[in-house]
Structure 1
Amino acid sequence: MSVRSLLEARASDDSLALVAREKRWSWTEYVAASRGRVAALARLLPASGPRHVGVLLDNTAEMAIQLAAAGWGAHALVGLNTTRRGESLLADIRKADVSVVVTDATHRELLDGLDLDGVVVVDESFDWPVDGPAPSASPSGSDLFMLIFTSGTSGEPKAVRITHEKITFPAAYLTERLGLTGDDVHYVAMPLFHSNAVIAGWAPAVYNGAAIALREKFSASAFLADVRAYGATYANYVGKPLAYVMATPALPDDAENPLRLVFGNEGNERDIAAFGERFGCRVVDGFGSTENAVVISRVEGTPPGSLGQPGPGVAVFDPETGLECPRARFDAAGGVVNLEECVGELVNTTGMGQFAGYYNDESATAERMRGGMYWSGDLAYRDADGWIYYAGRTADWLRVDGENLAAAPIERILLRHPAVSEAAVYAVPDPSAGDQLVAALVLTGALDADAFGSFLAGQGDLSSKGWPRFVRVVDSLPRTATNKVLKRELQAGPLEATWTREERGTTYR
C-alpha cells in the first residue's frame, strides 16, 4: 500500500475527517484540499533533484493537509521541528534538501536572518487552490513519503527516511490491534513533525476513516476539556504526557468522557494504571523509535518494569564482543546480580526491519547497521523468560566505584515514591575516577531529605552504588519537543544540589 491508495479510498467519503479549532472538513474536502496543495507546490518545486517541502507548523489544519499532500507521491514532506532555532534550524533545512518551506505567522520569524538561498517560503497569505487534479505520480510502498528528524537526545538530529509502507503498515496494524474504526475520533496533540503523531495518530485515521481532532500544542490542563469537546475516543502520546495530565487536579467526574483508548510509549507503569483508572479508559504502552527497527510489545503477563516481549530477531548484544548477552539473574529482592554482563544494546539481528536509513548521512546509517544487524543505541537486559527491560541510552551506562550501572532501572525505582512525578538519573565526574550519580526529581507531593533516604533504604533491589550522591529537586526537566529528557543539558548546567549524601553514607542533608 501507499498513502496515495489510502487517500483515494477516502475521496468520496463525506464523513468527518478533520477538526481544527472550530473548522471541520469531510474526507472528500480534506482529500481535495490536499490535491490542491500538490498542484500549487508543483509550480514552486524544482523540476529536477529532490522535491522536498519543509513544513514549519504546529498541529494546525494546514499541517494535516500538507501531510496528505505528500501522500500523493509528487513530493516528500520534511517535518521541521518548531523548537529548533537559528543555525540549527537552517542545518536541518539544508540537510533535508528543502526547496519550499510552508509556515505561518507563529513561526515565520524563526526563518528571519537565515541564509535560505534558493528556498521559497510560503505562509498563510498564499492562495491555496481548494482542489486540483490527481498527480500522475504513482508511489510504491518503498518510495519516500517524509523525512522525520530524530529527537537529538544523544547528538544532532538525524533525518529518518519514512517510506509509504512505514506509514501504511502500522496504520493497518494499529487499527487491527487496537480495534479502531471509522466511528472513532483520534485526538492528536503530539507534534505532527514527529513519528509518534504521524504513525500512531494521523495514519490509522487515514486508513480506517476515523476523524482527526487537532490540538496545536499539547496542554495537560486542556486535555480532558478537548476530549469532551471533540468527542475523542482515542489519543496517542510519547514521553511524559500521562504524568503531566495526572498532575492536574482530579475531579469526581473525570471518568465521564468518551475516551476509551490511549496508545503510546515511554509511560511508566504507575501512570499507565492511574491514568486508565482516573479517566475510565485503556492505556496501551509500547516501545519504539522513529527508525522503527526494534519492536517490543507489552502483552498480557508482562512483568512489572518490563517493556514486553521482543519481536522476531530482536535481541540484546554486547557491542564490544558482538555476541548475545547472558540473561539477567535476580536476587530475592528483585535486583539484577549480573548487570555488567547482561546489559547490552538492543539489536535487530535480521537486518534493518522498517528502518530505511538516514537521509544524507551514510556514516550514521552505517553506524546503525553493523555486521548486518541494526544497533539501536538503547541499552536493555533480558530475563530467563525472554522479557526485555530497558536500561537507558548508551550514554546512560554509568560507572560508580568500579561498578557499572544503568540509569533507567534506578529511575524506575525512584518513581515508586508517590511524591516523585519524574526522575532523571545522570552522571557527573568523580574527582577520583568514574562517575557520581545525580538524580533530578520533579515532585508532586511532600518529600524531604530524611524521607528520601528512608525510602531508598527500603528498596531491596537498589544497589548501594545506585544511591544518588546528589539530588536536585526541580520544577521541570529539559525536554525535546517530543518529551524526551535532555540529560546533556542537565550535565552541562550547574549542579545546584538540593540534597547531598556523604560519599559513604546513607543520609541526605
Structure 2
Amino acid sequence: MSAVSASSPVATARLEWCAENIGDREFLRWTANGESTSYADMYDVASRWAGLLRSRGVARGDRVLIMLHNCLDFLGAHFGAQFLGAVPVPVNTELRGETLRHPLTLFAPAAVVVGADLAETLAQAASEATCDFAVLEVGAGASSELDGLLRAAEPVAPLELTASDPSLIMSTSGTTGPSKGTVWNYGTLNLWANLYRDHLGRDETDRIYCCTPLFHANSLCTSVMAALNAGGSAVIAERFSVSGFWSDIADNGATSTPLIGAMIEMLLRTETPQMAADRARSSIRCILGACPPATHLEVERSWGITPVSAYGLTDFGSITHTSPGDGAPAGTVGKVVSAYEVRLIDADGADVPDGVAGELIARPRDPATIPDGYFRMPEATLESRKDLWFHTGDLLKRDAEGWFYFAGRVKDSMRRRGENVSAYDVETAILGSGQVAEVAAYPLPSSEGDDEIAVAVVVNPGTELDRAELIEAAARELPYFAVPRYVRVVDRLPKTPTQKVQKAPLRDAGITTDMWDRVAAGVEVTRNRDRVSAR
C-alpha cells in the first residue's frame, strides 16, 4: 500500500487509508450471520475482487453491473471495480424482462456480478440484449467456486483517482423514456457521504443500521459510505423486517438509521409490546426519514426521537437537511446545505415568494460535487440543466425562516415502497399485454406515504379486457413494486391539442367508482417467481 490521505475525496483511497491505520476496527456487521468485516478485511476482499474482475477483462472505464442482495460480495465487487478505475452499476434485484434488458443494453457492462437466485432472470433478459459480458455468479452452488476464484485471484491495489473520475452509476426513474443512469463522480459520492456524516453528527463510535437494499443511495451512500468517511461501522440487514427491526437495532448496538417514510408508518402502526421492549433497550439516537407532520410528531411522542429529514435526488445530490437539535418544524425537509445554491420558480421561470410552491432548481458551488449527467444520454442531461440550473421536477415551498417543505411533483414519475417507478416502464408493460391501445400511468395517494400506481387504459376494439390477466402480463415485465394497483377503463385519454397525454386530470379525479382495485379483487403480486395469485 502507498501512503494516502485520510481526507481524500476518493472512496478507494479512503478505504486504503482505513485499512492501513484502523485496519482492525469493525467496518461492517452482517445481521444474517452475526459476522463482522474489519476495514482490513474489506480492503483484502476488494483487492481480490479487483484481481478477479481484471482476469475477466475488466479495465478502467468499463462498467460492472451488480445484481445482488445485501451481502459482502456486493461491496467486494463494488470496491473491486473501483480499484480498477471501472464503474460499478448497482441495479435493482427486482428487475426482469425489458426493465433488465434496458440497463444491460444501455450500460454495456464488461461483467455482471449476479446472485445465483437471479441468474435465470439475467439469462432470460440477456438473450435479447445486444451486448456480451462476463458473468460472475454469487451464492448457493456458486459460492465454493467463487471462493476458490477469489482466493486464487492476484490482489490489485487501487488506481490513483481524482474527485472528477466516475465512481458509480446510479439508476433513476425515467419520465418520458426508460430509466436513466446517473454518473456520480467521486466528489459527488464524497459530498453525499460527508453530509450524512456531519449533519447527523456521526463519528467513529457510531453504528449505522442499514436495512434497505445496497443498490439504493440510501444504503450504499447514506450508510456504508458515511460510515467509511466517519471511520465508524454499518450494520447490514438482508432486508427490512417490521417485526425484527427493533431487535436488530438493539442487538447490534446501532445508533442511527436511514429509513424511507413508509417504513416509519409501518413501524408505528404495527408496534407490539415486544417491539416496544426492543426499542426501549436500544441505543438509537437518530432516525433519518422524511415524514408528514403528524407522523413526525407521533415519532417524537411514541419513540422519544426527533426524526431528521432531507431532500435529495440521485440525479443531483442531497440538497436540504435538518440536523438533530436544530429546532426544525415538523414536516420540513430542512434548509439548503452550503454546497448548493437554489431557487423556487414558477412555470415561466420566475422566482416565487415564500409560502408559494415552485419547482426547486439548484446548482453547485463546486462543479465536482454533482453527477456528470446521464450515461450516454446527452440530450436528457442538457434538458435537466436548462439555464445552467438543475431542474429537479419537484415542487417545494420555503417559509420565512428558510425551511423547505415538499409540495408535489412536476415530473412524470412515481414512488412506491421507497422505489422510484418510471411511468414509461409501467406503460410499456401494459401495452405489451396486447389488450390495450393506449395507456397512461399515474400516481394516486397512498396511506403508506408513497404513491399507489394507477393506469387508465383505452381497450383495443373488439377486446373484452380481463383486468387480472392485464396485471399478470405486466408483472412478468415489472418489479413487484411497480405493478399497478388500480385499472381504469376510459373511452379516450385526456390530451392536449398536440395529442400529448394530460395526466393531471386523471390524478385530480383520484380513485373513481369505475376503477378496478386488484387488492380489493384479491389479486396479489409478490417477489416470488410465481408473482400473481388470487386469494
Shorter-chain TM-score: which interval? 0.7 to 0.9
Q: Encode CA deviations 1:339-376: one digit per residue, 9 max, x unaligned.
A: xxx43211015687623211111111111100111101
**Residues 296 and 330 in structure 2, CA contact (< 8 A), matched pair in contact too:** no
User: Structure 2 residue aligned with 1:306, among 328, 332, 352?
Assistant: 332
Match of 1:272 in 2: 296
Match of 1:14 in 2: 24
User: Structure 2 residue aligned with 1:366, among 370, 382, 395?
Assistant: 382
Map residues 78-477 of structure 1 onto 2, 5 A cutoff: 78-113=89-124, 114-115=126-127, 117-124=131-138, 125=142, 126=146, 127-130=148-151, 132-135=154-157, 137-152=159-174, 156-251=178-273, 252-293=276-317, 295-298=319-322, 300-311=326-337, 312-319=340-347, 321-328=348-355, 342-348=356-362, 354-395=370-411, 421-422=448-449, 424=451
Question: 2: CA distance between counterparts of 1:349 and 1:47?
Answer: 32
Deviation at 1:222, TM superposition (A): 1.6
Deviation at 1:132, TM superposition (A): 4.6
**Residues 314 and 348 in structure 1, CA contact (< 8 A), matched pair in contact too:** yes
**Residues 63 and 110 in structure 2, CA contact (< 8 A), matched pair in contact too:** yes
Q: Counterpart of 1:52 in structure 2: which amino acid? A: R
User: What TM-score do the two structures reach when normalised by structure 2?
Assistant: 0.69
Q: Counterpart of 1:309 in structure 2: which amino acid? A: K
Higher mean alpha-carbon deviation, 130-139 vs 83-92, is at: 130-139
**Residues 44 and 100 in structure 1, CA contact (< 8 A), matched pair in contact too:** yes
Question: 2: CA distance between counterparts of 1:489 and 1:81?
Answer: 18
Q: Relative to 1, partners in 2 of residues 1:80 and 1:136: Cα closer, same or farther, differing over 3 Å?
A: closer
- 3-state DSSP class of the match of 1:313? strand
Q: Counterpart of 1:266 in structure 2: which amino acid? A: A
Q: Encode CA deviations 1:60-110: one digit per residue, 9 max, x unaligned.
A: 121122233234253110011111111210111221221111112221121
Deviation at 1:187, TM superposition (A): 1.4
Q: Counterpart of 2:315 in structure 1: which amino acid? A: E
- 3-state DSSP class of the match of 2:313? coil
Q: Counterpart of 2:321 in structure 1: which amino acid? A: S
Q: Relative to 1, partners in 2 of residues 1:240 and 1:80: Cα closer, same or farther, differing over 3 Å?
A: same
Deviation at 1:424, TM superposition (A): 4.5
Deviation at 1:205, TM superposition (A): 1.3
Q: Relative to 1, partners in 2 of residues 1:264 and 1:122: Cα closer, same or farther, differing over 3 Å?
A: same
Match of 1:2 in 2: 10
- 3-state DSSP class of the match of 1:288? strand
Deviation at 1:155, TM superposition (A): 5.3
Q: Counterpart of 2:90 in structure 1: which amino acid? A: G
Q: Encode CA deviations 1:405-464: one digit per residue, 9 max, x unaligned.
A: xx99x96xxx9xxxx5547489999xxxxxxxxxxxxxxxxxxxxxxxxxxxxxxxxxxx
Deviation at 1:291, TM superposition (A): 2.1
Q: Relative to 1, partners in 2 of residues 1:427 and 1:59: Cα closer, same or farther, differing over 3 Å?
A: closer
Q: Relative to 1, partners in 2 of residues 1:92 and 1:493: Cα closer, same or farther, differing over 3 Å?
A: farther
- 3-state DSSP class of the match of 1:284? coil
- Whether 1:63 aligns to 2:74 is yes
**Residues 379 and 394 in structure 1, CA contact (< 8 A), matched pair in contact too:** yes
Question: 1: CA distance between counterparts of 2:216 and 2:511?
Answer: 35
Deviation at 1:294, TM superposition (A): 6.1
- 3-state DSSP class of the match of 1:324? coil
User: What TM-score do the two structures reach when normalised by structure 1?
Assistant: 0.73
Consecutive unaligned residues in structure 1, runs of 5 or more: 329-341, 398-406, 430-479, 502-509
Q: Counterpart of 1:302 in structure 2: which amino acid? A: A
Number of equivalent positions: 416
- 3-state DSSP class of the match of 1:14? coil
**Residues 184 and 233 in structure 1, CA contact (< 8 A), matched pair in contact too:** yes
Q: Counterpart of 1:94 in structure 2: which amino acid? A: T
Q: Encode CA deviations 1:193-213: one digit per residue, 9 max, x unaligned.
A: 121111110101112222222
Q: Counterpart of 1:9 in structure 2: which amino acid? A: W
Match of 1:30 in 2: 42
Question: 1: CA distance between counterparts of 2:395 and 2:196?
Answer: 26
Match of 2:530 in 1: none
Question: 2: CA distance between counterparts of 1:84 and 1:26?
Answer: 32
RMSD: 3.4
Higher mean alpha-carbon deviation, 156-165 vs 60-69, is at: 60-69
